[in-house]
Amino acid sequence: MGQVFQLRRERTIDGETTVEIAYGVTSLTRSQASAEQLLALSRRHWGAIENGTHYVRDEAFGEDRSTIARGHAPQNLAALRNAGLNWLRTQKTDNITASLRSFARNSFRLLSKLGYPN
């Protein structure tokens, strides 16, 4: 049987402290993961999401500056951005932003990379 856990996040900004409580469920038993290990796993998981996805989407695609906010459009565009990032990562792209600029300057380069004939 797994575990249920509670994460308490406390942060202070400009002297004002806020507390957020989050709950989680894991299939790991107490003998497989202590409270400290669950905390480390959770931090590593969310760190990877923030640094590997959200930050890159914002920096490479300017996602936080997007004014698209109607219906399902924001979620659909986020899914397309994720697909693009994942594809670029499969191509072993060193600099995602530079690759996007290159493709924007010359769309034939992107089509060629995708396997379309000239």
Same domain for 29 and 71, yes or no, is no
Provide the domain limits for residue 71.
Answer: 35-118
Q: Compute the distance between CA of residue 117 and CA of residue 86 in angstroms, rounded to an integer.
A: 23
Same domain for 48 and 20, yes or no, is no
Same domain for 70 and 84, yes or no, is yes
Task: Judge contact between 74 and 66, C-beta under 8 A.
Answer: yes
Q: Compute the distance between CA of residue 89 and CA of residue 82 in angstroms, rounded to an integer.
A: 10
pLDDT tens track for 77-101? 999 999 999 999 999 988 999 999 9
Same domain for 48 and 63, yes or no, is yes
Question: H-helix or E-strand containing 21?
Answer: strand 16-26
CA-closest candidate to residue 24, choices 40, 38, 11, 37: 38
Same domain for 11 and 39, yes or no, is no
Residues with Cβ < 8 Å from 13, sequence gap 6 or more?
none
- Number of domains, the chain: 2
Same domain for 25 and 59, yes or no, is no
Cut 0.75: pTM above it: no
CB atoms within 10 A of CB 95: 11
pLDDT tens track for 4-55? 999 999 999 999 999 999 999 999 999 999 999 999 999 888 887 777 788 8
Same domain for 22 and 47, yes or no, is no
- CA torsion through residues 46, 52, 57, 63, sign: positive
Same domain for 101 and 74, yes or no, is yes
Same domain for 59 and 105, yes or no, is yes
